[in-house]
Amino acid sequence: MRNWQEHPWMGVFAATLCPFHEDESLDEAGLRAYIRELAAVPGLKGLVPNGHTGEIMSLREKERAEVTRIVAEEVKKSGARLKGISGVCGEGSLSAIDHAIAAKEAGADAILLMPPHHWLRFGRTSAEAVGFIADVAEGAGIDIVIHQYPAWTKAGYALNEMLEMAKIPRVKCIKMGTRDMARWLWDYEQLKAARPDLSIITCHDEYLLPTLLEAGDGALIGFAGFAPRLMIDLVHACLNGDLAGAKKAQQTVAPLARLIYNFGEPGCGAHQRMKVAKWLLGEISSPVFRRPVRPLPENEVQRLRDGLKALGMKTVN
């Protein structure tokens, strides 16, 4: 098999933030500037708008396609060879197909397909889980990155389900978010044995080093949309088997990750802190996070400001 540098679905994929004006309308100029900066970073394999980092749940349907279009346009203008992978979240097969087609028409190369969120409460059968992926693959005709949710949710996929999904040609990659380290290596080995070309990448921002050192083909993470060069250094060292280099990079990454993730999983709170920190550094146009999330209290903003300064990072806001 080709090495990871040559594989189109291995390496670092940055889940992107989405800037808004004070009235919560989409800040197109701010988004374009942010994407231009990311597209200029050597070493990224792709950009992923409309993920949880990009506040997909607060975006209107037309806005999701608009964000995808803007990202595709800026990547094209940059001349960078980056995949555009748009997040898709639909409560049924037909709505997910519609969103996927809209993303494709807006210029996406692939979609990051989330599970229907009503499964989080009610669960689903294996036939429904596998069928959902097959429905979207057939109905939209676009390559798919499967978004694997944490194992503790009713929407997470079991290994036998992922093995069936891997038989679908349009499935190119699994964003593995089980957050169950006891399963990590076993699931990776079984999926690779069944389909060696399938890319299995981590989204464990808080467990990035251990997941990649044990097994993994790259990372699709919000932290790469915040500090892309740091993530590239860490992930590439792991993929190259450079333990010393990976541990050295981790020494820089770990305190920044603690500041953003506060010893927890990526979630709305962490994504909001990430956006505010990016704004404090003058690297995104606005700290506004859409409702129902409320603005960070000033003492929390100051904590981020102080933390960034303590790490030698210059704040301008």
Handedness of CA 226, 228, 233, 239 (dihedral sign): positive
Contact between 63 and 26 under an 8 Å Cβ cutoff? The reply is yes
Three-state DSSP at 110 gives strand
Phi, psi of 167 (to 5 degrees): -80, -10
What single letter denotes the amino acid at residue 262? N
Determine the pLDDT at residue 1. 47
Contact between 93 and 132 under an 8 Å Cβ cutoff? The reply is yes
Find residue 86's DSSP bridge partners.
111
Q: Model pTM greater than 0.75?
A: yes
Contact between 174 and 187 under an 8 Å Cβ cutoff? The reply is no
Mean pLDDT of the chain: 96
CA distance 272 to 55: 9
Q: Which of the four CATH numbers 3.40.47.10, 3.40.630.30, 3.20.20.70, 3.10.350.10 does domain 11-240 have?
A: 3.20.20.70
DSSP symbols for 215-258: S-SEEEETHHHHSHHHHHHHHHHHHTT-HHHHHHHHHHHHHHHH
Q: What is the mean pLDDT of each run of 10 residues along the chain (317 residues)?
A: 86 98 98 98 98 96 97 97 97 98 98 98 98 98 98 96 98 96 95 98 92 96 96 97 95 94 86 98 97 96 97 96
Q: Give, in order, the Cα–Cα distances in Å from 147 to each of 117, 158, 172, 199.
A: 12, 13, 12, 12
CA distance 82 to 250: 25
Determine the pLDDT at residue 207. 87
Instruction: Write the pLDDT tens digit of every residue in 70-104.
Output: 999 999 999 999 999 999 999 999 999 999 999 99
CA distance 177 to 203: 6
Tokens (6 digits) for 21: 């004006």
Determine the pLDDT at residue 257. 93
Determine the pLDDT at residue 2. 59
Q: Give, in order, the Cα–Cα distances in Å from 242 to each of 177, 191, 235, 276.
A: 24, 24, 10, 33
**Phi-psi region at 263: left, alpha or beta (left = phi > 0; alpha = psi -120 to 50):** left
How many other CB atoms are found less than 10 A from the CB of residue 314? 9
Q: Is the peptide bond before 295 cis (omega within 30 degrees of 0)?
A: no
Phi, psi of 84 (to 5 degrees): -105, 115
Contact between 214 and 178 under an 8 Å Cβ cutoff? The reply is no
